Amino acid sequence: MKRFTTVLWDLDGTLLDFLYSQRYALQKCFRTAGREIAEEQMERYSQINDSFWKRYELGEISKERLLRERFVQLFKEYGIEDIEPGAFQREYEEALGSVVSHKDDSLTLCKALNGFVRQYVVTNGISATQRSKLKLSGLEEAMDGVFISEEVGAPKPSEEFFTYCLERIEEKDRSKILIVGDSLTSDIRGGIQAGIATCWYRPDTEENPSPYIPAYEISNLHMIYDILGVFDTWQSRRDKS
């Protein structure tokens, strides 16, 4: 098995359960506004949010437009006129960064990989929100570095984003770098374009409708041990501890 020295981890939907945090943030903000949000509205928000993030990834819209107009569209569709989108957006981002849930015990995994590979987070999002989640989750301490699109100045999967990241990590041999993420259009597409190996995390075993074919696929994050070629060494160290 090929030995990688470096892992680039996506954050939302990969190391952390983004939908868990999103549900909490939406419910909290709507209750602050004196309302309850229905399941249908949360599902619709997810669809709207995903569509805006994809447009942002493609460079079609600005980050500022994304953040505000997703709520403008949601409120318009449901006839909500008594909530100001800008204020709601600011409260939402704060709430989003205040609660986390790990996917597949990701913190234990990342800590176990320390000493075997260098690890970095590569994520789209708002800096304050992502930094808050990384600290709250404990993942910040397990990483060798963090790259957030707002701080980089370009979104994943753009060439600018990956060039920025790859210039700043220790490993320079791209054949020894692996990106792991749940998004085909962001993580896998970006990794392929950057010339690094890609691993698609798909816990729900969904089909791949895109033209972006990952080198590896996993349904549980702990399957990464075999891909990295460190399982035997890791198992030996664990048995001795």
Greatest Cα-to-Cα distance within the chain, rounded to the nearest angstrom: 62
Report pLDDT for 229. Answer: 85
Query: Which residues form the catalytic set?
Result: 10
Which residue ranges of the chain lie beneath pLDDT 50?
A: 236, 240
Strand, coil or helix: 199:
strand
Q: Copy the structure tokens of residue 2.
A: 């090929």
Question: In order of start, what are the domains of the chain with their CATH numbers?
Answer: 6-17+101-240 (3.40.50.1000), 18-96 (1.10.150.240)
What's the rounded Cα separation, in Å, for the pair 234 and 116? 8
pLDDT at position 206 is: 78
pTM of the model: 0.92
Per-residue pLDDT, 232: 56
- The pLDDT assigned to 59 comes to 87
| Sheet with 216-218: strands ordered across | 145-148, 118-123, 6-9, 177-181, 197-201, 216-218
Q: How far apart are CA 189 and CA 18, in angstroms?
A: 20
The whole-number pLDDT of residue 235 equals: 55
Question: Cα Rg for the chain, rounded, in angstroms?
Answer: 18
